[in-house]
């Protein structure tokens, strides 16, 4: 019968015989100590839990809390950020039973605001689309509820504001402010999509044309309209101008690349045509050498001098056509259309909305822009829901940027002007009724539908 070697080693008789426990890696005291250590460890997590997020997601989460720009405060020596420890001798090899710190994650967390700028409090696409749909429809219903009951477009809404409230007394203006805020939110949502992907999708921006046209029809100045209403009217035009300038900035790269390729092909074709024309002309000249040329008369010298100075290869160059397909023509037409529209829209916008208008009618928003320390490229550092943070004038639309600054400015204008009406924004929107206006032609255009051009 075979004996258990471990039991044999631990018996007193084995010690008395002078045999050493060569087959046992630990002594009894060490085993008991390790077992006691295992009893103090927490229970493992269940296998049904989701996996831990990657380090990149942790970095992006930290940016949300660090994105808001506040006035700079001097840092003393105690508050200065500590330098990361890079000594290779410090905790280079963790001891037994010690879990090594993940220095890569700590470095990423320390550098997150610089490498992963994320827009602060950016509304999601679904949230903004729901905001746009609800606000545009309900704002239009508020318009119809302010008409006399005998009017053909009158619509009675449920859960309407009390008759003595400012929301009811100034229902038309409140409805227009809701339309404007819905436009601001949806444009900001599309900008966040572009910023997150790092690319511009012109087709997505073109879906705003129908809703922008609807907002223009509701904000069109009438006789007796105030300068504030005209400023909001100009803001809509400025939104459209910046959107199409962004499309031009993106599409012109593709159009220019296509033009360069077509130009190079055409240049080679012209060179070939000129060479063929010269060869053909020299062969004709060799055949006519047998007949001596006649001397021109003095009267014909002046008349033919201009004709003789004309290049002989002009006809050959004009006979070459540039090869353009339908896709290339569409890309160039897109750039031309958006550029023309951006110019005309900005011309109208700057008439109604400028620095002078902002200083006179929106002094609070104007001060937030004038006394700002932000740069034009720091759009992601602004908290969308902050009413006191720094802003920045949108700048030049031809750069393709500035839409986020325009959204921040528009949101500030809506809140500043809406205070006199106790405007509550999305919290003050009336509940959605079960049925909309009976005539679908009178409804606001749904989001995501591009206008026909």
- Take residue 13 and report the two structure tokens written for it: 């008789």
Task: Check residue 225 and give its pLDDT.
Answer: 92
Q: Are 79 and 21 in contact (CB under 8 A)?
A: no
Is the four-CA dihedral 369, 371, 373, 376 of positive or negative sign? positive
Task: Check residue 364 and give its pLDDT.
Answer: 96
Taking the C-alpha atoms of residue 402 and residue 396, their distance in angstroms, rounded to an integer, is: 7
Cα R_g (the chain), whole angstroms = 38
Taking the C-alpha atoms of residue 211 and residue 447, their distance in angstroms, rounded to an integer, is: 7
Please give the torsion angle defined by the CA atoms of residues 171, 446, 194 and 355, in that order, rounded to the nearest 10 degrees.
Answer: -30
**Domain residue ranges of the chain, discontinuous segments joined by +:** 126-227+352-442
Taking the C-alpha atoms of residue 145 and residue 156, their distance in angstroms, rounded to an integer, is: 5
Taking the C-alpha atoms of residue 334 and residue 342, their distance in angstroms, rounded to an integer, is: 12
User: Alpha carbon of 283 to those of 276, 288, 293: distances in Å?
Assistant: 11, 9, 17
Task: Check residue 74 and give its pLDDT.
Answer: 41
Taking the C-alpha atoms of residue 145 and residue 172, their distance in angstroms, rounded to an integer, is: 9
Q: Which residue has the tokens 């009675």?
A: 156
- Does residue 277 sit in helix, strand or coil? helix
Helix (H) / strand (E) element for 98: namely none
Taking the C-alpha atoms of residue 443 and residue 153, their distance in angstroms, rounded to an integer, is: 11
Helix (H) / strand (E) element for 429: namely none
Angle at 253 between CA 250 and CA 257, to 5 degrees: 155
Q: Are 177 and 423 in contact (CB under 8 A)?
A: yes
Taking the C-alpha atoms of residue 405 and residue 392, their distance in angstroms, rounded to an integer, is: 6
Taking the C-alpha atoms of residue 117 and residue 195, their distance in angstroms, rounded to an integer, is: 10
Taking the C-alpha atoms of residue 175 and residue 179, their distance in angstroms, rounded to an integer, is: 6
Q: Are 171 and 154 in contact (CB under 8 A)?
A: no
pLDDT profile of the chain (453 residues), mean per 10: 46 47 66 76 64 44 43 43 41 47 40 44 50 55 67 69 78 89 93 91 92 93 93 98 95 85 84 78 53 54 46 69 83 92 96 96 96 91 89 93 96 95 78 51 50 44
Task: Check residue 194 and give its pLDDT.
Answer: 93
């Amino acid at each position: 019968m075979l004996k258990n070697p471990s039991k044999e080693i631990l018996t007193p008789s084995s010690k008395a015989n002078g045999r050493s426990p060569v087959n046992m890696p630990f002594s009894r005291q060490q085993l008991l100590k390790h077992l006691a250590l295992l009893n103090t460890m927490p229970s493992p997590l269940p296998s049904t839990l989701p996996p831990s997020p990657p380090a990149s997601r942790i970095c992006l989460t930290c940016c949300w809390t660090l994105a808001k720009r506040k006035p700079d405060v001097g840092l003393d020596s105690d508050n200065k950020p500590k330098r990361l420890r890079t000594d290779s001798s410090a905790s280079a090899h963790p001891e037994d039973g010690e879990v090594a710190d993940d220095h890569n994650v700590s470095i990423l967390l320390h550098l997150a605001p610089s490498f992963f700028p994320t827009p602060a409090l950016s509304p999601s696409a679904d949230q903004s689309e729901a905001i746009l749909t609800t606000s545009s429809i309900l704002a239009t219903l508020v318009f119809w509820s302010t008409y006399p009951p005998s009017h053909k477009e009158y619509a009675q809404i449920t859960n309407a504001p009390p008759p003595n409230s400012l929301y009811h007394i100034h229902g038309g203006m409140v409805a227009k402010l809701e339309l404007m805020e819905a436009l601001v939110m949806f444009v900001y949502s599309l900008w966040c999509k572009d910023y997150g992907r790092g690319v511009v999708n012109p087709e997505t921006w073109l879906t705003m044309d129908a809703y922008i046209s609807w907002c223009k029809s509701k904000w069109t100045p009438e006789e007796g309209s105030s300068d504030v209403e005209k400023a909001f009217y100009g803001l809509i035009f400025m939104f459209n101008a910046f959107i199409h300038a962004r499309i031009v900035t993106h599409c012109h790269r593709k159009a220019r690349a296509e033009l360069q390729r077509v130009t190079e092909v055409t240049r080679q074709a012209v060179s070939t045509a000129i060479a063929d024309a010269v060869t053909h002309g020299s062969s004709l000249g060799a055949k006519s050498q047998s007949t001596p040329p006649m001397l021109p008369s003095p009267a014909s010298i002046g008349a033919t001098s201009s004709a003789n100075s004309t290049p002989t290869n002009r006809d050959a160059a004009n006979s070459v056509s540039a090869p353009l397909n339908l896709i290339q023509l569409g890309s160039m037409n897109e750039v031309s259309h958006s550029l023309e529209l951006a110019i005309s829209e900005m011309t109208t916008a700057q008439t109604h909305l400028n620095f002078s208008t902002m200083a006179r009618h929106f002094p609070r928003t104007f001060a937030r822009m004038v006394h700002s320390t932000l740069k034009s490229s720091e759009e992601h550092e602004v908290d969308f829901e902050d009413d006191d943070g720094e802003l920045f004038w949108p700048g030049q639309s031809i750069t393709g940027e500035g839409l986020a600054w325009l959204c921040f400015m528009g949101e500030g204008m809506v809140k500043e002007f809406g205070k006199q009406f106790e405007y509550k924004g999305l919290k003050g929107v009336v509940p959605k009724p079960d049925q909309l206006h009976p005539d679908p032609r009178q409804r606001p255009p749904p989001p995501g539908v591009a206008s026909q051009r």
